[in-house]
Structure 1
Amino acid sequence: MDNNMKFKDGFLWGAATSGPQCEGTFNKKHKNVFDYWYEVEPEAFFDKVGPEVTSNFYNSYEEDLAMLKSIGLNSFRTSIQWTRLIKDFETGEADEDGIEFYNNVINEIIKNGLTPIITLHHFDLPVELYDKYGGWESKHVVDLFVKFANTAFRLFSDRVKLWTTFNEPIVVVEGQYLYQFHYPKVVDGKKAIQALYNINLASAKTIKVFKENNYGKDGAKIGTILNLTPSYPRDINNPDDVKAAKIADAFFNESFLMPAIKGEFPKLLVDLLKEDDVLWESTEEELKIIKENNIEYLGVNYYFPRRIKAKEEKVDESKPWMPDKYFDNYEMPGRRMNPYRGWEIYPKAIYDIAINIRDNYDNIPWYISENGMGVEGEDRYINSEGIIEDDYRIEFIKEHLEYLHKGIEEGSNCFGYHSWTGIDCWSWCNAYKNRYGFIALDLKTQKKTIKKSGQWIKEFIK
């Protein structure tokens, strides 16, 4: 490891979390899809731990932000919950408690010398809007989201200079409509593709409102956050494997990356969806909005690569449409694994992402908005001073930073690195199974303790 890696002045070193994963449900007037799912099916969540308290950020944000500052970070990403800020979804009118809480949090972030990066949607669709309209299947919900975003901009853009519309929108499509790991666990290709289109439209319409109302007048910028998982073919000399990997990339990566930056959808994907009769419903006016309202910077969440091979089994056409009809996942022999998450560890992909953005996406300004390692049972690594010695996390981050640095040295326009996460937080159905933080959380007492990785990152940044 080259400990003398130099990153430019002003580089954003930070950690990311989200409203639903850290705040708890205190004083929230509405439920999101996860709040509701936990209510009706607590056994779907590891150890039946739900979102009510999480890491108690609603009550402890002052101490939490001071701790993040103490480990040398200079920036912090979280999200504003639609279900906390908005009182009336149809009008976009804000709730007084929500306004006060987010004002206090943003002021406290700035007071600690941290740059706030605020996301508007981190998987927390109001369940009421799913029940009433079908959630992201509905273009009315798109317009309600834009009202929420406009309210947030009006209230907070005097201080927030980096906004992002969505976090990992492809996960909403995968989880809710294809692979059944988000409520309502539907398997419906046509609905999945309409939701994919509608979320792209919601992001573009939000950017349009941001620009038309001049919320960026003091240098504020708006972007989006995509989890990019490069698709590597099993055999680069096998045209079938290469084609399968291209299709996987078009679906999982380019379906949001291309509209966000270039204002259009990948032709390969559109042609396949047309052929399969699952293409979204769109209008010329909507496509024009997507074309003209592009992001100003990109956040990239990177955890693992995707390994792809040509389809080996015949597709059962009687089953619902799935993107997997065009490829199979491939388990590469000898791959390094995080056994707790079932994810391959492949740091070089961060370099490949950096070069792809440089060469194919106008070298847009971007940053790593999430990267981290979740491990189960970290209590095993507590030393005599009560500190978790998470050397595996330090190694993971170091390796990824080496490859990121190489990409930057070769001209990729990356301005920051955020780990997932600062303080161990609640992770959807996984709850607290795997821990990711620089700072450990005792769930029973809510005591927070800096891990070895938290001490290390402070020295590394210095």
Structure 2
Amino acid sequence: MIAFNNRKESIQFRFPKGFWWGSAVSATQIEGAADKDGKGKNIWDYWYEQEPNRFFNGVGPEKTSQFYDRFREDIQLMKEIGHNSFRFSISWSRMFPDGKSINRKGIDFYNQVIDELILHGIEPFVNLYHFDMPLELQKMGGWANREVVNAYVQYAKTCFAQFGDRVKKWFTHNEPIVPVEGGYLYDFHYPNEVDFGKAVQVAYHMMLSSASAIKEYKELGQDGKIGIILNLTPSYPRSHHPADLQASKIADAFFNRSFLDPSITGEFPQELVQILDEEGYRPEMEDGDLDRIEQNTVDFLGINYYQPRRVKAKEYMPNPDAPFMPECFFDHYVMPGRKMNPYRGWEIYEKGIYDILINLKENYGNIECFISENGMGVEGEERFRDKNGTIQDDYRIEFIQEHLKWVHKAIQEGCNVKGYHLWTFMDNWSWTNAYKNRYGLVSVNLDKDSERSIKKSGYWFKSLSENNGF
């Protein structure tokens, strides 16, 4: 066992009483049991069957980290390393294998998970959609088809009815911009299309589905809160030149405000609406849609933060015959001397988390929020395992500390931040990257039947939670 200093007087960064300490996961990335107990295929199961070569080392989602069969053991470990809350997603295709018919075994599984968490004093935070469209609904066009919005609302209502007596923190979507980018712009998620018009329609339907689910939740009169989780990536301009500033403003409208504004204020950013109108890409809408979005905003916000976005004015005019892209309005900028995570290829910029929180305070009514994901993926962590079998991931402890210092500063300045969830609890399967980079507080040894062992960061996190600071 690794001991950390627990003396109260040594705490330099103290967090508010009742702060949410925990981690986040998604169903497809940890459950495994991809075809067990009636679960239907989702787009990840299907894409892996079709193109296994597009997944790191050919590892697909069928097994992942076996949470489906080992959740009791895992929840015990969560408690052991100081969790008081835990965010997971429900697999839509486990609940509704064909997108429409209920699978009772799916309901039974999530009931058991929720009950086990509560038994251990860990509050369940439940997310409804984390990139895993049921294949049968994707065959209809996925989020591009308005019928899928209706199917999602039925799925959401079922979850509220089945679990809402115990679950008081709900989220409609995790990172809704990612299926738009990955599936319909940049070809890193299924269905691997490059079609800006369809991307806009998908984004619009996802936002409409979020507002529709919120409407249903409010009408049920349950006593919890419902929000959305957004990966906010601050857009920093290369310079204060007007052209660089305009580039960052447009990038921000595309990748942050496209979901942030309607979720909190009920309105889409005018800069984005103007571009869509000028370029002929306004989505198909129905009467009453915009009223529904305006009237059903979130109670609170989850913030996923990993890296900044740095942009500059266009160097060259875009090819008029190439597909239309957000990058028609800006170029990406590599800042000299930036700090990097070389394994993930992402810049580490801790102050970004503070800038996000100050923006929410100043421009979005200081909405209640929490850090719902933040983490560091490292390749080859086994080389840091000591003679006792513990992975010495001091770099992860430092990463968390340096981000939490900025969260603490934001709280001191009045930001309405209620918690911090790390990505992630245990090493999990990361979409096309599989197990290339490890993110967990708990190691999963794939060579030893997914054996779990707490990393040094896990013991440190326990101390963090117990002391409510560091």
**8 A Cα contact 1:71 1:455, kept in partner:** yes
Whole-Å separation in 1 of the counterparts to 2:106 and 2:465 = 34
AA partner of residue 88 (structure 2):
T
Whole-Å separation in 2 of the counterparts to 1:87 and 1:351 = 41
Whole-Å separation in 2 of the counterparts to 1:443 and 1:61 = 17
**Residue 208 of structure 1, aligned match among 215, 232, 251:** 215
**Residue 34 of structure 1, aligned match among 31, 34, 44:** 44
Matched, 1:456 2:460: yes
Instruction: Give the corresponding residue for 1:387.
Output: 390
Instruction: Give the corresponding residue for 1:446.
Output: 450
Instruction: Give the corresponding residue for 1:16.
Output: 24
AA partner of residue 202 (structure 2):
A
**8 A Cα contact 1:80 1:119, kept in partner:** yes
AA partner of residue 20 (structure 2):
L
Matched, 1:116 2:124: yes
CA drift of 1:144 comes to: 0.4
Whole-Å separation in 2 of the counterparts to 1:110 and 1:340 = 36
CA drift of 1:53 comes to: 1.2
Matched, 1:376 2:379: yes
CA drift of 1:28 comes to: 4.3
AA partner of residue 398 (structure 1):
Q
AA partner of residue 119 (structure 2):
K
The within-5 A match list for 1:292-371 is: 292-371=295-374
Q: Deviations over 1:350-373 (max 9, x none)?
A: 100110011111111000000000
Instruction: Give the corresponding residue for 1:174.
Output: 181
Whole-Å separation in 1 of the counterparts to 2:284 and 2:185 = 19
**Residue 409 of structure 2, aligned match among 395, 402, 406:** 406
AA partner of residue 220 (structure 1):
G
Instruction: Give the corresponding residue for 1:291.
Output: 294
**Residue 197 of structure 2, aligned match among 190, 193, 196:** 190
Matched, 1:106 2:114: yes
CA drift of 1:283 comes to: 2.6
Unaligned 5+ segments in structure 2 are 1-9
Q: Deviations over 1:435-462 (max 9, x none)?
A: 0000000113210000000011111222
**8 A Cα contact 2:38 2:97, kept in partner:** no
Identity across the alignment (%): 54
Return 194-203 or 310-319, whichever deviates more.
310-319
Instruction: Give the corresponding residue for 2:233.
Output: 229
Whole-Å separation in 1 of the counterparts to 2:348 and 2:38 = 38
Instruction: Give the corresponding residue for 2:168.
Output: 161
Q: Deviations over 1:174-226 (max 9, x none)?
A: 00000000011100000000111110000000000111121x2xx31100000
CA drift of 1:281 comes to: 1.3
**8 A Cα contact 1:299 1:368, kept in partner:** yes
CA drift of 1:128 comes to: 1.3
CA drift of 1:383 comes to: 0.7
Whole-Å separation in 1 of the counterparts to 2:374 and 2:152 = 27
Q: Deviations over 1:233-271 (max 9, x none)?
A: 000x20000000000000000000000000010000000
AA partner of residue 150 (structure 2):
D
CA drift of 1:29 comes to: 2.7
CA drift of 1:3 comes to: 4.1
Instruction: Give the corresponding residue for 1:54.
Output: 64
Instruction: Give the corresponding residue for 2:96.
Output: 86
Whole-Å separation in 2 of the counterparts to 1:383 and 1:3 = 28
**8 A Cα contact 2:99 2:136, kept in partner:** no
CA drift of 1:314 comes to: 1.3
The within-5 A match list for 1:123-134 is: 123-131=131-139, 133-134=140-141
Change (3 A) 1:413 1:246: same
Q: Deviations over 1:61-82 (max 9, x none)?
A: 0000100110111110100111
CA drift of 1:113 comes to: 0.5
**8 A Cα contact 2:303 2:371, kept in partner:** yes
AA partner of residue 439 (structure 1):
V
Runs of 4+ in 1 over 4 A off after TM superposition: none
CA drift of 1:87 comes to: 4.4
Unaligned 5+ segments in structure 1 are none
**Residue 251 of structure 1, aligned match among 246, 250, 254:** 254
Q: Aligned with 2:318: secondary structure?
A: coil
Return 277-286 or 141-150, whichever deviates more.
277-286
Matched, 1:139 2:146: yes
For normalisation by structure 1, the TM-score amounts to 0.97
AA partner of residue 159 (structure 2):
A
**8 A Cα contact 1:28 1:83, kept in partner:** no
AA partner of residue 434 (structure 1):
N
